[in-house]
A and B are shown apart, each in its own frame.
Chain A
Amino acid sequence: EAGVAQSPRYKIIEKRQSVAFWCNPISGHATLYWYQQILGQGPKLLIQFQNNGVVDDSQLPKDRFSAERLKGVDSTLKIQPAKLEDSAVYLCASSLDNNYGYTFGSGTRLTVV
């Protein structure tokens, strides 16, 4: 089966600019997650979707981050405006449910300068 697709792979922007990341999960996976992985740290959940509804966005900085999952399939994560501390790898994952674990995409490495 095809894996979780993410784009772009790399992005460099200046602070205060905006950026968007795209994720296409594995077909049939109802649950989609966005994680932020700062260098030297473990992934931190930003937002969890079940189909096109939000299950958990408690750690999403809502003043600058937004995410949507239209039609319960692919998803976009946006940052506006970006700060230096947003430099990280943004990982998208999908799953049938926890019994199966997650399948991760390769991530988008964001550098804010």
Chain B
Amino acid sequence: AQSVTQLDSQVPVFEEAPVELRCNYSSSVSVYLFWYVQYPNQGLQLLLKYLSGSTLVKGINGFEAEFNKSQTSFHLRKPSVHISDTAEYFCAVSASGGYQKVTFGTGTKLQVIP
């Protein structure tokens, strides 16, 4: 089975500052990795995903993440955040291949301070 740990429950950051949201995963097989964003009272939206190939993955809204197999990490980064980035971010993992169950982390609340 796969699991994912999000080390920070809340991350406050000033507007236009860079941010990194941390995610570590555990799995005995090869994995797919995802980041989702959830705005208040809404469902989750896919930000980006790693399936294979380049370890640096670019997503929507200027976010990117880097897959590090040796450190079993998939940290999310943005060089300059905006107020509109205030939301909860979930890291998720599944075994590679189609139709595999996706397991979510507990989430990190990003609070952008004006």
Residues of A within 8 A of B (CB): 4, 31, 33, 35, 40-45, 48, 50, 55-56, 91, 93, 97-99, 101-107, 109
Contact = CB atoms under 8 A, between A and B. Distances in A.
Nearest to A56: B101
Interface of B: 32, 34, 36, 41-46, 49, 51, 90, 94, 96-107
Given A98-B94, A101-B49, A43 B99 contact: no
B10 to A, nearest CB: 11
B107 A98 contact: no
Q: When A and B form their complex, which 5 residue pairs have the shortest distance between CB atoms, in order from nearest?
A: A97-B98, A104-B43, A42-B104, A101-B46, A104-B44
Contact of A42 (B41, B45, B94, B105): B105
A43 B44 contact: yes
A103 to B, nearest CB: 8
A98 B42 contact: no
Given A56-B101, A93-B43, A99-B32, 13 more contacts: A33-B102, A42-B104, A42-B106, A45-B101, A45-B103, A48-B101, A93-B44, A97-B99, A98-B98, A102-B44, A102-B102, A104-B44, A107-B43
B44 A91 contact: yes
A5 B41 CA distance: 15
A97 B97 CA distance: 8
Contacts of B107: 41-42
Contacts of B104: 35, 42-44
The winner among B43, B49, B102 for most chain A CB atoms within 10 A is B43
B42 A106 contact: yes
B59 to A, nearest CB: 10
17 contacts: A4-B43, A33-B102, A41-B106, A42-B104, A43-B44, A43-B104, A56-B101, A93-B43, A98-B96, A98-B97, A98-B100, A101-B46, A101-B49, A102-B36, A104-B43, A106-B42, A106-B43
B99 A104 contact: no
